[in-house]
Amino acid sequence: MKPKAMIRTMVIMKTADILKAMEITDELAKRMGFLPRDCLFLRLATEEACTNAYEYCQKTRRLPFRIFWKIDARQFMIIVKQRGGCFSVAQTDAINTGSRGRGLQLIAHIVDAVYVKRAGNNVLFCMCKCKK
């Protein structure tokens, strides 16, 4: 029998919640058996995704937003769900020297798959790291 996926969720209302989300990511990544380096990078991806969502939601008065973690035997999904407009993310090797906009590129290089999809009035920013 195939093991069931585990799902965990959290509401983000303030910056302290982002720190808690990073801790949860680290805990779950360790439980899955990721190497310490990968755990650190997944924490960073969580921080970047949540900070982007927090800044957008605060500016547009759409707080709170949610983060979900979905784990099965082979992959670790982190999903940030917020209300608002869709955006795109693509992995590129171009160097961004601007003052903003490097977080999504950083995330794209950390995880194995990243995509954005619309779900009604919400946008889901999905990050997937596979267990090798």
Residue 64 lies in a domain: yes
* CB neighbours of residue 41 within 10 Å: 19
Look at residue 13 and tell me if it is in a domain: yes
Q: Nearest-CA neighbor of 66 among 118, 119, 11?
A: 11
Q: What is the pTM of this model?
A: 0.88
Question: Of 9-13, 44-48, 56-60, which gets the smallest average pLDDT?
Answer: 56-60
pLDDT tens-place string over residues 57-113 = 999 999 999 999 999 989 999 999 999 876 666 556 666 666 666 788 889 999 999
User: What total number of domains does the chain contain?
Assistant: 1
123 belongs to a structural domain: yes
Do 67 and 80 touch, CB atoms closer than 8 A?
yes
In a domain, 39, yes or no: yes
CATH code, domain carrying 24: 3.30.565.10
Q: Is the residue at 1 inside a domain?
A: no
Expressed as residue numbers, the domain containing 49 is 6-130
